[in-house]
Amino acid sequence: MSLPSLKGSEPRCSALIDLSALRHNARVCQDFAGPSAGIMAIVKADAYGHGLERVVTALSNQVDCFGVACFREAVRARHASGTNQPILILSPALREEYEGIVSGRYSASVSTIEEIETYEKVAKSLRKKAKLHLIVDTGMGRMGVIPDHFSDLIDLINAAEFCELEGLATHFPSADEDEAFTLSQIEQFSHLLNTVKLAEGTKIHLANSAGLIGYSDKTPFAALVRPGLALYGVSPLPKQAKEIRPVLSFRTKVTLVRELPAGWGISYGRTFVTDSSTRVATLAAGYGDGYPRHLSGKGADVLIRGTRCPLLGRVTMDQIVVDVSHLETTQPGDEAILIGSQGDESITASEVAEKAGTIPWELFTGITPRVERFYV
């Protein structure tokens, strides 16, 4: 049974995604990478909440390949690109995914003997090559071969009839925080590369957004860089990448405007009580849309009519309340910006994330499916 028509109904909460800013950021990332390194655009987690299909389509002619978290995302990215661009699955595969990965000619990340042996077995049964990227754990601790066993796994892949060593990689856990440790990772990884003879065209990659922006001159041997957050408009090292442009704005609407007397509690728990007569606006957004509940009582603002309006009380599932006493006029239907710009004022994803005690990555990926995405 089809749903009734929604004609005349606008979304209460929406995200506007600027694809020209996305492509601009890809060019900025390429400038940091230099002409000898390609771009692997990271589009996992629905392209950080921006919409995997639209992001892949927008970037397919501008980047070399895509990075995803799992087999299902790989299939979506391949379909959206409309090409045979390489797609690397960055996380370990589930056993039931191996066959689809090999038959679909996706690239897989491996860390262990067992993974390599399983890929060899599956690939042999399909009479196809498994394209593998060996991950080296230089300090992330999440996946990857320990350096002491690096050469053993290289030898195992090279000896496997149906496995191809397509790439070698590591990952920076703190390139935006710990320069000394990041440099030690680069040195260790570089040393390991010098201990093996690699086939021509083996893709070497280690730089995430922070690594790309802060350490590209230290990794001339890298064939690929892996920007994620920087593509979506936030630089982990903002002083070094001022050219990065915001891609997403998160917006909602005023639903009610009321005058509340002094001594009136607002929202659950009455954590905020008015100390004088206060004009308040109720907005159609809450943690059910991805506006963090942890912003409650943390000095967060929204923009209405180009002016910052303080959040009052706790964020609820579907609504928040803000102080509009200082605005000349406010009325239901007015646009309210949760993240983005209005007039001369801006509220960045980094500002919101910091006040919520989280990071922009979580903020973007936490914007829920009921928030309709629009693309320009």
pLDDT at 3 over 60: no
Task: Give percent above pLDDT 90 in the chain.
Answer: 94
pLDDT band at 108 (very low <50, low <70, confident <90, very high): very high
CATH number at 19-233: 3.20.20.10
> Catalytic: which of 98, 119, 218, 268?
268
pLDDT on residue 109: 98
Residue 303 to residues 14, 333, 335, 340, 360: CA-CA distances in angstroms? 15, 14, 8, 9, 19
48 is catalytic: no
Model's pTM, two decimal places? 0.94
Record the tokens describing residue 4, joined without a space.
Answer: 């009734």
Residue extents of the structural domains in the chain:
19-233, 248-375
* Sign of CA pseudo-dihedral 209, 211, 213, 219: negative
pLDDT at 13 over 70: yes
Q: Which amino acid belongs to residue 341?
A: S
> Catalytic: which of 44, 131, 253, 355?
44
44 is catalytic: yes
Q: Indicate the CATH number of 248-375 among 1.10.760.10, 2.40.37.10, 1.10.3720.10, 2.115.10.20.
A: 2.40.37.10
Mean pLDDT (the chain, rounded): 96
Q: At what angle do helices 113-126 and 150-159 cross, to 10 degrees?
A: 10
